[in-house]
Amino acid sequence: MAILVLGGAGYIGSHTVYQLIDSGRDVVVVDNLATGHREAVHPKARFYQGDLHDRAFLDSIFQKEKIDGVIHFAAYSLVGESMTNPLKYYDNNLCGTKVLLESMVANGVDRIVFSSTAATYGEPKHVPILETDVTVPTNCYGETKLSMEKMFKWTAQAHGLRYVSLRYFNASGAHASGAIGEAHCPESHLIPLILQVPNGQREKIMIFGDDYPTTDGTCVRDYIHVTDLAQAHILALEYLNHGGQSDIFNLGNGVGFSVKEVIETARKVTGHPIPAEIAARRVGDPAQLIASSEKANSILGWKPEYNDLETIIATAWRWHHTHPNGFQV
Ligand code: UFG
């Protein structure tokens, strides 16, 4: 039996496929390559290019391959873009997922693990954030992910499906082999943007706001290594395979670092002075996002291996330094 990974050519998806294959699983990857990279797909995975909205295509995969579990990464994830083009996010993240669920129900596939986000919480009332905390997204991306969770809940109830929703905090780092890593176009995430400076692609890094109610005034985030996120998907699928009930889990290290601390750590890792300049706040940025991952630890047995920022940034630097243009040579 095989595991179907939708969005397996993207950042977190490709790392999960590597981990699945390294642990001996048979993997089928579907990706429309709108934001993913064909080169990121593990050579041992069976790859099909196609879109979530295409019901006949999805049905053909379920009929051709023997799929017993699905991991779903295929979504748009740029917060800023979701605010200027919300319908693009509703169309892909919700309409696409609806077609996937219809196809799964029709083809008798009843287990799915999917990507959710810390953005479902919005501005937290306290940190660390628990899964039971209120969810009031401050951007359309987070709203579509929260709606996806609800779509899964009601569909599961009606059709006997079981799901695990994984709410990631700040995904970062790259595969230890150096073969795959983060390659967004355009790039908007802090760590890859910082590393463009020592790579000679950017003169300085802009710090979006230094007047937040945090220790040094810059935003605090919980950076979690992409390989640890990948491992959580495998554990979640095993949990469902052993009869686990549908549930939601946060995935983070439980430790927050400010933007200034991340820059300082990158200076240490790269040996480059990395000039930084204070700029205006970015709209919609919460001051602090730190996960409580106690639940994932106690129920899934998940324990992040990369729990220090220096190692996380060192893996990212190895990738970006050797692949300054991502997967484009
Ligand atoms: N930042 C800067 N300068 C930059 C880029 C980012 O100061 O050039 C700051 C941001 O303002 C933020 C922090 O660095 O305070 C981290 O920003 P990222 O864009 O790397 O990550 P976010 O925390 O905004 O977003 C991440 C994921 C989203 C997800 C969100 C959940 O990338 O997909 O966490 O809150 F929705």
Ligand 1 pocket, 207 CB below 6 A?
A: yes
Average pLDDT over residues 30-34: 97
Give the total residue count for the chain: 329
**160-183 pLDDT, tens digit each:** 999 999 999 999 999 999 999 999
Q: Which residue has its alpha carbon closest to ligand 1 atom 30? A: 119
**76-90 pLDDT, tens digit each:** 999 889 999 999 999
Q: What is the pLDDT of residue 328?
A: 85
Write out the E strands in 23-169.
26-31, 46-49, 67-72, 111-117, 162-168
Which atom belonging to ligand 1 lies closest to the Cα atom of 77? 33
Which atom belonging to ligand 1 lies closest to the Cα atom of 194? 8
Which atom belonging to ligand 1 lies closest to the Cα atom of 282? 11
**235-266 pLDDT, tens digit each:** 999 999 999 999 999 999 999 999 999 999 99
Average pLDDT over residues 194-198: 98
Could you give the residue numbers annotated as active site? 141
Ligand 1 pocket, 208 CB below 6 A?
A: yes
**114-173 pLDDT, tens digit each:** 999 999 999 999 999 999 999 999 999 999 999 999 999 999 999 999 999 999 999 999
Q: What is the pLDDT of residue 119?
A: 96
pLDDT at 329 over 80: no
pLDDT at 104 over 80: yes
Q: Which residue has its alpha carbon closest to ligand 1 atom 36? A: 119
